[in-house]
Amino acid sequence: MSNLARRTITGIVLVLLVIASVITHQYLFSLLFLVFTGVGLWEFYSLVERAGVYPNKVAGILAGMILFATNALIATDILNFLWLLLNFVFIFLIFLFELYRNNPNPFTNIAFTFFGLLYVAVPFSLLNYFPNPAFLPGVYHSSLLLGFFFLVWINETAAYVIGTAIGRHRLFERISPKKTWEGAIGGGLLAVLSAVLIAFYYQQVSMIDWLVISLIVVVFGSYGDLFESMFKRSIKAKDSGSILPGHGGVLDRFDGVFMAAPFVFVYLLMTY
């Protein structure tokens, strides 16, 4: 099977899995992304080890999954916001665990353990609040979450297809030689046009808001892709993992989400 076929099949399965989890129940979405959080952190820490840094994988993954779980339970009205304080306990335990590891460069290890949480666990955790940015009891607008994912997928897919077909001018050759301006502009335009269509079906937010969200996704989703490329290039890695055939790992597939989600979350929070 060709790489394009594997990439296509994996992409379709992943998209359907995410859509099904969002539509079925918020608990199912949270469970799926709790798994993605754990796998993504494992990939990140494993990549960092190639650079001679040894983050505390167990403590980092545990802290990241607890961070995601507490936010998910708060977003579903099971816990109140005071439970977020629990995360301080697990985060600061990382300092204590490092005392007993006897590894070189302990503060570098701690720094990269924390960075994994910031890069992977925090953006995934914020997704739990997208369906209810006003924090109203019992509210769950799956359309806000779906619309966000649709825009990310459309931007990335269109940029890849258009860039492969007609791309000539390199976007950021030092970081990602294959990405082109043609692909970036084409993906961005299609994402913005898609926001207009999404606004007709998902009317929980206005068309202006969908257009703003699409621009946030285009700009910061693209930067997220470039950041992950810079990260992999710095340690001479092609993919972050192999769990998703044709796509690599969780970090490869959700690199745009990692950077765009916090900015969209802040916009929704300030707007609603």
Question: In angstroms, what CA-CA distances link 135 with 7, 25, 140, 164, 253?
Answer: 37, 17, 10, 42, 29
Spatial contact of 241 and 251, defined as CB atoms under 8 Å apart: yes
pTM of the model: 0.93
pLDDT at 153: 96
pLDDT at 37: 98
Q: What is the pLDDT along the chain (272 residues), one digit of tens a residue?
A: 556 667 678 778 899 999 999 999 899 999 999 999 999 999 999 999 988 899 999 999 999 999 999 999 999 999 998 999 999 888 888 999 998 888 888 999 999 999 999 999 999 999 999 999 888 888 898 999 999 999 999 999 999 999 889 988 888 778 877 888 899 999 999 999 999 999 999 988 899 999 999 999 999 999 999 999 888 888 777 666 666 665 578 998 999 999 999 999 999 999 98
pLDDT at 1: 58
pLDDT at 10: 77
DSSP class of 3: H
Spatial contact of 75 and 132, defined as CB atoms under 8 Å apart: yes
pLDDT at 104: 84
pLDDT at 240: 67
Question: In angstroms, what CA-CA distances link 116 with 41, 109, 120?
Answer: 6, 11, 6
| CA 229 to the chain's CA centroid | 14
**How many angstroms separate the first and last alpha carbons of the chain?**
47
